[in-house]
Structure 1
Amino acid sequence: MATRHVTDGGLETDLIFLRGFDLPEFASFPLLDTDEGRAALRDYYLAYVDIAVRAGAPLLLETPTWRANPDHAARLGYDAAALDRVNRESVAFLAALAAERADELTGWEVGGMLGPRGDGYVSAGAVDPDEAAEYHRPQLASFVAAGATRATVLTLTEVGEAIGVSRAAADLGLPVGIGFTVETDGRLPDGSTLAAAVAAVDADAPPAYFLINCAHPSHVLRGLEPGAWRDRIGGLRVNASTMSHAELDEAQTLDDGDPLELADAQLPLLDAFGGLEVLGGCCGTDARHVAAMWGVS
């Protein structure tokens, strides 16, 4: 079995609903450019450092840069140079934070976080892999330059963009985890099964591993068909809520469920995916949920 790393929970929902931040574009990376923002991010990530210490497990800190790509950043006033700077600074910020507790940790690393070019919930149709590779390569290159040891892309809704990210990461020599999200029926927003999506990416540009994120365990279970594809799932970041993506998009309050119930609901997935090496949360989860998943609540 792979060594399982603690990672964080639902950063953006934590910042919005629990800490009162306004996040235009659902983007947390601009917080790196203010003292108040850096203090909030520091407090947020330190909770997961504590979980890793208590669990005796290695820690994967992933940068707050899910929206730090050109389309979303341009609407926030960040050009290419500013994006390169903030993506690099995000890695340095987390590395410095982990280094403070290095003597207590069993191991740690910093990974760069990417998101889709478009919506993380709705598929806009097929994406050309070459265009996706060109689009995402600069952010991946920033992570490499800053010393990140891996990258993760979350909430992809179809295969083409996944292939593009995996190709670009391979070109740069950076291990990458490809994260798909699923609807309440266990299928990707474009209708693909997880098995088919994993097979299609692996046939073109195999990543280090795949992840499933931004769905409640009950949703993922509905797409849990048998097959070797399960061995390629190396990360799991589930939602606290059983609501659909459309319902979550419209939600004005946080549905954070019950941490212990979520941990119990996730147990069948831990059995199904024996190669998990990253375990954390997604929308609606916070340190309480991740602590419960790791049995240190």
Structure 2
Amino acid sequence: MRSIALLDGGLGQEIYRRARSVSSPLWSVAVMQEQPEVVKGVHEDFIRAGAKTLTLNTYAATPTRLRKQGLHEQIGAIHQRAFQVLEQAIDATGLSVDIAGCLPPLAASYQGEPARSFDDLKSEYDTLVRLQAGADVLLIETMTNIAEATAACAAAKQLGKPFGVSFRLEVDGALKSGESLAEAVAAVADYSPDAVMLNCCDLEILTAAMPQLVVMYPRVGGYANAFESVEAVAEGGLVDSLQARPDVSPGAYSAQVQQWLQAGACVVGGCCEITPDHIRDLAGAMADQYRLVRFSDLTS
């Protein structure tokens, strides 16, 4: 029976949805500052739904983003709180899962190539890796350009723990930077990530690209979003303005993921607007065909 690493779903968006009274550029990190019990509840729900790898709630807690909000001096405390809340959720469920550190885009999601040097980018990712060194694995997510992706891989590799890197594709099948998926995979392959994935793409884009990705790298995967459009955020707006697609039900999502698995994917989960209900349906749909494992189990 084939082993499949099952990640959680759209952690940040699920937290934000449950705490509507909070509106902030720091997204779910702002919720954690004011309502940590909401974050703990979302983690618990994803674990109970069947997720085997849970991501820290630190997507928006990069030095660049915190500095912009005047909170850079709190970066250590914010990451510590993210660990505490997730560990509390794990203890409450009594289940064994991976804690995944999160290495996101440094300034904002859905942007092109930043006007920064490799060393400058890597230095910031080094800080994030240091703050999340207690994680079991690292997930580099929503990469839209080779510069950030390779800098994050270089920082992650130094920790010596399993890590994966995930790209977001546009409608034309390329990265926001204009670089091709093939170029991106070739660039990160030098760092030997344990998996190369696609995430935060439209469901149909990810499904179309998965057969191509499978032939580019030995271990691949994906986790799509269910937004109608991300253009408002790409143009600098808050996630408050985004809408979920009504057609991406748990069953519809599971059906698409089954196509990724049939193509050869071995890491799946969900991104924004993919809820614990989606992950529960997905875990149930896979249970008879695959062994559901933690991300670190794929590399052990």
Deviation at 1:164, TM superposition (A): 0.7
Q: 2:37 aligns with which of 22, 36, 39?
A: 39
Superposed, 1:68-87 pairs within 5 Å as 68-80=61-73, 82-87=74-79
Hey, what's the Cα distance between the residues in 2 that align with 1:138 and 1:255? 36
Hey, what's the Cα distance between the residues in 1 that align with 2:213 and 2:92? 43
**Are residues 189 and 74 of structure 1, via their aligned partners in 2, closer, same or farther at CA, if it must alter by over 3 Å?**
same
Hey, what's the Cα distance between the residues in 2 that align with 1:110 and 1:187? 30
Superposed, 1:107-256 pairs within 5 Å as 107-125=96-114, 128-144=117-133, 147-203=134-190, 205-223=191-209, 224-225=211-212, 228-233=215-220, 235-241=221-227, 243-246=228-231, 251-256=241-246
What residue is the counterpart of 2:249 in the other structure? Answer: 258
Asked if the contact 1:240–1:258 (Cα under 8 Å) also holds between the matched residues in 2, the reply is no
Any idea what the Cα deviations from partners look like across 1:198-231, whole Å, max 9, x if unmatched?
Answer: 111113x222222211012311233342763242
Point out 4+ residue stretches in structure 1 off by more than 6 angstroms: none
Deviation at 1:167, TM superposition (A): 0.8
**Are residues 206 and 111 of structure 1, via their aligned partners in 2, closer, same or farther at CA, if it must alter by over 3 Å?**
same
Hey, what's the Cα distance between the residues in 1 that align with 2:229 and 2:101? 27
TM-score (norm 1): 0.83
Deviation at 1:163, TM superposition (A): 0.9
Question: Partner amino acid for 2:224?
Answer: V
What residue is the counterpart of 1:7 in the other structure? Answer: 7
Hey, what's the Cα distance between the residues in 2 that align with 1:97 and 1:18? 16
What residue is the counterpart of 2:53 in the other structure? Answer: 60
Question: Partner amino acid for 2:32?
Answer: L
Hey, what's the Cα distance between the residues in 1 that align with 2:116 and 2:215? 26
What is the SS of the residue equivalent to 1:186?
coil
Deviation at 1:252, TM superposition (A): 4.5
Gaps of 5+ in 2: 287-300
**Are residues 143 and 209 of structure 1, via their aligned partners in 2, closer, same or farther at CA, if it must alter by over 3 Å?**
same
Deviation at 1:165, TM superposition (A): 0.8
Asked if the contact 2:100–2:137 (Cα under 8 Å) also holds between the matched residues in 1, the reply is yes
**Are residues 162 and 2 of structure 1, via their aligned partners in 2, closer, same or farther at CA, if it must alter by over 3 Å?**
farther
**Are residues 227 and 14 of structure 1, via their aligned partners in 2, closer, same or farther at CA, if it must alter by over 3 Å?**
closer
**Are residues 212 and 292 of structure 1, via their aligned partners in 2, closer, same or farther at CA, if it must alter by over 3 Å?**
same
Asked if the contact 2:49–2:277 (Cα under 8 Å) also holds between the matched residues in 1, the reply is no
**Are residues 273 and 192 of structure 1, via their aligned partners in 2, closer, same or farther at CA, if it must alter by over 3 Å?**
farther
Q: How many residue pairs are counted as aligned between the two chains?
A: 279
What is the SS of the residue equivalent to 1:12?
helix
**Are residues 202 and 252 of structure 1, via their aligned partners in 2, closer, same or farther at CA, if it must alter by over 3 Å?**
closer
Any idea what the Cα deviations from partners look like across 1:7-59, whole Å, max 9, x if unmatched?
Answer: 3222232233454143422432233333xx1111111111111112xxxxx62
What residue is the counterpart of 1:55 in the other structure? Answer: none
Any idea what the Cα deviations from partners look like across 1:235-271, whole Å, max 9, x if unmatched?
Answer: 4211124x44326757453335322112112222112
- Identity level (%): 22
Question: Partner amino acid for 2:16?
Answer: I
